[in-house]
Amino acid sequence: MSHLKILQSYAKRSPESFPASILFGHSAKNITIFDGFPKSKFHFLVLPRASETDLSLSDLGSLHALLKADKSKAKEVVAALADDARGVRGDIEREMVKHYGFKWDVWTGFHAAPSMVHLHLHVLSADLCSDKLKHKKHYNSFHPKLGFFLHLDDVLSWFDAEPTYYEHMVSMKKLHLLIVLKEGLTCFHCYKEMKNIPILKDHLQEEWDKLATKASRKRKRKGESADVAVPEEKGLSDQEKTLKRAKSEATENVEA
């Protein structure tokens, strides 16, 4: 099976068939999985289950395909994704506090021209600090201001906008969107331009370290402990820590 269609295959499977290394959670309408190549400290995908809608797989192929289908059904799908994404966001924020003692932003949105088949909503921490972020197109596809990353709240607002605006957003040209991925590298924190990805990644880490240091000082002023990491999990990435707990919980459920 083509890697580009792996999400579509997931959408057709029952939640019970997934290993804990893939499935994070599910609801009646959606499944939530770990992003296999996380671009931030925390990164998940929420997908509509193919069996829980009368829309075709083609209609669920992407956000663009969905919006071209029945508008009321499209709104139901996006609203259901939003409901589950709120829960995932809460899970991420709890993990942030557990391991770092503070919360930072969480982004929720779609890629305007995704590379993989089947609608999927990204829920990721707003840091873009990951060893899986290796190319300009990776970074620019999640930059919150360039327009390729479509924020969920903006997409939801399209359904209540004037019909002409909705139609305009549905007819977005893919070629124009792909050009965005070739834009220069600009820090989403301070908008400083960077020469290349290695320099950008070092800068993003420095920006996140500033947030962590500020939060640590704030905890100290309040008399709280600055050491919030779980000792046996030190050295693991945040995605690995969450996955480790998911596997542990799955084992406990089986034994129960």
Total number of domains constituting the chain? 1
Q: What is the CATH number of the domain that holds 173?
A: 3.30.428.10
Full domain range(s) for residue 155:
3-255
Q: Is the dihedral of CA 117, 120, 126, 129 positive or negative?
A: negative
Catalytic choice (26, 120, 122, 143): 120
Q: Any alpha helices (H) in the chain, and if so which ranges?
A: 6-11, 63-68, 71-100, 136-142, 152-158, 163-170, 174-180, 197-221, 238-255
In the sheet that 106-111 helps form, which strands lie side by side, from edge to edge? 23-26, 30-34, 43-48, 121-125, 106-111, 149-151
Active site residue 118: no
Residue 130 and residue 100: Cα distance in Å, rounded?
A: 16
Residue with tokens 């804990």: 20
Res 244: pLDDT = 52
Res 52: pLDDT = 93
Res 182: pLDDT = 94
Coil, helix or strand for 45?
Answer: strand
Residue 45 and residue 8: Cα distance in Å, rounded?
A: 13
Res 222: pLDDT = 82
Per-residue pLDDT of the chain (256 residues; tens, 9 = 90+): 568 999 999 999 999 999 999 999 999 999 999 999 999 999 999 999 999 999 999 999 999 999 999 999 999 999 999 999 999 999 999 999 999 999 999 999 999 999 999 999 999 999 999 999 999 999 999 999 999 999 999 999 999 999 999 999 988 777 678 899 999 999 999 999 999 999 999 999 999 999 999 999 988 888 766 555 543 444 456 665 665 555 444 434 433 3
For residue 17, report the phi and psi dihedrals to the nearest 5 degrees. Answer: -85, -5
**Threshold 0.85, pTM exceeds:** yes
Residue 106 and residue 152: Cα distance in Å, rounded?
A: 12
- By the 10 Å C-beta count (0-12 exposed, 13-18 middle, 19+ buried), 223 is classed as exposed
Residue with tokens 């021209």: 113
Task: State both tokens at 137.
Answer: 């197109």
